[in-house]
Amino acid sequence: DIQMTQSPSSLSASVGDRVTITCRASQSISTFLNWYQLKPGKAPKLLIYAASSLQSGVPSRFSGSGSGTDFTLTISSLQPDDFATYYCQQSYSTPGYSFGQGTKLEIK
């Protein structure tokens, strides 16, 4: 099974900050990597698929990069609505679709 490890587990930042979250796969997954945003009581939201493709309707301040085993999600200028928990997910070894453990982004 492919294990996904995110860092950091939690992060404090301010509105306007540039933030980067890292996801590492236990083996190469090419660019089969997705990013999601999760807020309490709301439906999870797809942000990025195929490592760097922005999902329709997602603000352009979100971007993804990486291939192989190392990936990043970057928020270029944090907005109040961005404080949430973020998850990476691999889709290389389907149907497993394993997720990282999550990164909680909090207001500083």
Partner 1 sequence: EVQLVESGGGLIQPGGSLRLSCGVSEFSVSSNHMSWVRQAPGKGLEWVSVIYSGGTTYYADSVKGRFTISRDNFKNTLFLQMNSLRAEDTAVYYCARVSSYCAGDCFFFMDVWGKGTTVTVSS
Residues that bind partner 1 (CB under 8 A): 30-32, 34, 36, 38, 41-46, 49-50, 53, 55, 87, 89, 91, 94-102
Of 59 and 96, which CB lies nearer to partner 1 in the complex structure? 96
Show Cβ contacts of residue 41 under 8 Å, excluding neighbours closer than 6 positions: none
- Smallest distance, partner 1 to C-beta of residue 41, A: 7
Which backbone phi and psi does 81 adopt, to 5 degrees?
Answer: -75, -10
Of 34 and 75, which CB lies nearer to partner 1 in the complex structure? 34
